[in-house]
Copies of this chain bind each other. A is one copy, B any other.
């Protein structure tokens, strides 16, 4: 009863100087780097009035702000409320779920604005930002939130900040390789966000394997109210996913189409999730874990192809399959990964992001390879795949091949990057808790 707990008790989780130091140093670094590099893009700059006239735009409504801001806000809600509340299912880790997600995302978007800015918005020595950069920063951070799901409850906030720093960097490199070097389409991020983020997180949690985690098994479950809070996260992710997949698509039909495809895929996914959740339990009862997670797989699985001519029924098929795969994953794969591969995946991101992300990449490759001028129209075909300039002569089947290569690159980046970052996080200086104190807010929060 006196808890004479060996080396575990020796762990120092007092972050009084370490956490402030990391937060403040990094924020100062952000200020300096923003000061040197970041400026308003032309549509957010006070010179816009003059530029607008030069560009012969007749109205302020042509400002990209009005095309993308509503979608941006939906994505923003997904990152902060969606992920934050979805991870609130743990009975004693609600503060950590929503609070650490808040912290890492707030840091991550700043660093992402810089990293992605250097790769994509760099002009005359300055990064010029607008609403599209804000969306992309949220996207990048989304991949960190996904990885966070694997290590939820087992890491200190400093570890999360360190992981964010590295993962945002790797994300940006991977994204650059895919979008610019391979000229791959991935508007909703099946590959760049989900596949990369999930396998990165799974690799990290493998490296951080805790053999004695059953010491905190009692805290790893949910209670009635924590499940209801988690449903807030689920529903906002589910409802706004059409905005997510369409947020950075081309203006006009592409944005419109992405939203419709995603809407259809998600609707179908709910039905197959419910079906398999009931079927795989002896008494036919539904499991909230499946409803909270697998219903979202349909959004992940059309992330690459949503802006293509996937068609509504194609979306229903993809959504249906991904709901089944994800639910089966929760029942069979998660226990297997833990017992055999020593991958402790708190939120089951393998089922919600990794497998559906792979499906998404594959569906994207197939849809691209199957594209024809007949289906897209002559102009639409060129516009949809940006077959201009040096890519003028690329054919759909070649594009499909590059799309498939994008999956492989994302996986490699995730495994190698995750292994290195996992190693760094294993250093005994970051203030993580002993196995017996995992999944417990009292370690880092005044409760």
Contact = CB atoms under 8 A, between A and B. Distances in A.
Contacts of A48: 252-253, 256, 380
A253 B62 CA distance: 11
Interface stretch (A39-47, A205-213, A333-341): A39-47
Interface in A266-313: 266-268, 270-272, 274-276, 278-279, 281-288, 291, 295, 309, 311-313
Interface in A360-390: 375-381, 383-384
Contact of A252 (B40, B49, B80, B130): B49
B24 A271 contact: yes
A46 B288 contact: no
A409 to B, nearest CB: 27
B73 A70 contact: yes
A260 interface: yes
A328 interface: no
B228 A60 contact: no
Interface in A109-123: 109-110, 113
Given A66-B67, A284-B14, A99 B291 contact: yes
A238 interface: yes
A236 interface: yes
Contacts of A45: 253, 257, 309, 380
A315 to B, nearest CB: 9
Contacts of A99: 231, 286, 288, 291
Residue in A24, A77, A253, A270 with the greatest tally of chain B CB atoms within 10 Å:
A253
Contacts of A254: 46
B235 A380 contact: no
Interface string A72-116: 011011001100110010000011001100110011011001000
Interface in A21-72: 21, 23-24, 26-27, 30-31, 34-35, 38-40, 43-50, 52, 58-67, 69-71
A232 interface: yes
A100 to B, nearest CB: 9
B49 A377 contact: yes
Given A49-B252, A98-B231, A446-B287, A16 B279 contact: yes
Contact of A50 (B80, B81, B380): B380
A267 to B, nearest CB: 5
A352 to B, nearest CB: 16
A214 B263 CA distance: 41
A168 to B, nearest CB: 13
Contacts of A348: none
A224 B256 CA distance: 42
* A interface: dominant SS: helix
A225 interface: yes
Contacts of A253: 43-49, 63
Interface of A: 14-21, 23-24, 26-27, 30-31, 34-35, 38-40, 43-50, 52, 58-67, 69-71, 73-74, 76-77, 80-81, 84-85, 88, 94-95, 98-99, 102-103, 106-107, 109-110, 113, 129-131, 134, 157, 224-225, 227-229, 231-232, 235-236, 238-240, 242-243, 251-257, 259-260, 263-264, 266-268, 270-272, 274-276, 278-279, 281-288, 291, 295, 309, 311-313, 316-317, 320, 375-381, 383-384, 444-447
23 contacts: A16-B282, A31-B317, A34-B264, A45-B309, A46-B309, A46-B376, A46-B377, A49-B252, A49-B377, A49-B379, A69-B71, A70-B70, A73-B239, A73-B240, A80-B238, A94-B224, A95-B227, A95-B228, A102-B295, A113-B312, A131-B260, A157-B274, A286-B444
